[in-house]
Amino acid sequence: MCISRVGRVLSVQGNLATVKFFDGRTSDSVEVSMLKVRKGAFIEVFGNLALKELTGIEARKRFAAWNELGRLLSADLVVDAERLSEKTRMV
């Protein structure tokens, strides 16, 4: 499965942008030649290619969805760890 990420443009030099993603990581080699983006814009990135400029509302909705997914996955991991420790106690 392919997953795109959302980030905010920190700077643009030619066809490359420095982007800070919502997970806190920063990339200084996002190709933005297909879009006309400026500092502060929210963009959707796949690999190192900017696919689409997003509104602030779209970006926040996607960030909220990713946070919820992470919360749900973390809860599942905790439940699985508890089940595993219960099984090892029974042995």
The span from the CA of 20 to the CA of 50, in Å, is 13
The reported pLDDT for the residue numbered 67 is 82
Q: pTM here? A: 0.73
Residue 91 has a pLDDT of 45
In CATH, what is the architecture of 5-90? Roll (2.30)
The mean of the pLDDT values for the chain is 84
> In the predicted model, what is the mean pLDDT of residues 32-51?
95
Tell me which of 44 and 72 has the higher pLDDT.
Answer: 44
What are the boundaries of each domain within the chain?
5-90
DSSP 8-state code for residue 35:
S
pLDDT in tens, 46-84: 989 999 999 999 999 988 888 888 777 776 655 555 555
Pairing of strands 26-31, 5-13: unpaired
